[in-house]
Amino acid sequence: GERIASRPAAEPAASVPAVAPAPTPSAAAPGAATGEPTTLADLSAEERRQLPPLKISMHFWAPTPTERFAIVDGSRVGEGDRIGNAVVDAITADAVVLGWNGRRVHLPIR
């Protein structure tokens, strides 16, 4: 009878830390540590004025990073190329991600 009584007591004890503290730090910490991408809409009007128009007219994603490219503001860019004062951080299957002012700006493909 003692083993049966100790198992239910152990389950709530194990589930309480998982429910309370774990989701909050794991949701917040990776975003802060990895520089979670921000969208253009999240930037202030002043910040948007500092960037070029950033109109994506073509986007090509491939499994090989060197084959990925986008046409942004009429210029072909690949990962590592510059667009004004921003750098193409990544070209993903659904976006172009720029590194700009220490932030990652996510340009979704429409």
10-36 pLDDT per residue, tens: 444 444 444 444 333 333 333 333 467
Residues 63 and 86 in one domain: yes
pTM of model > 0.85: no
Specify whether 29 is located in the same domain as 50.
Answer: no
* DSSP bridge partners of 77: 70
What gap in Å lies between CA 27 and CA 29, rounded to an integer? 6
What is the pLDDT, as a whole number, of residue 58? 95
- Domain shared by 80 and 104, yes or no: yes
pLDDT tens-digit series, residues 55-100: 999 999 999 999 999 999 999 999 999 999 999 999 999 999 999 9
> Whole-angstrom Cα distance, residue 85 to residue 65?
22
Total structural domains within the chain: 2
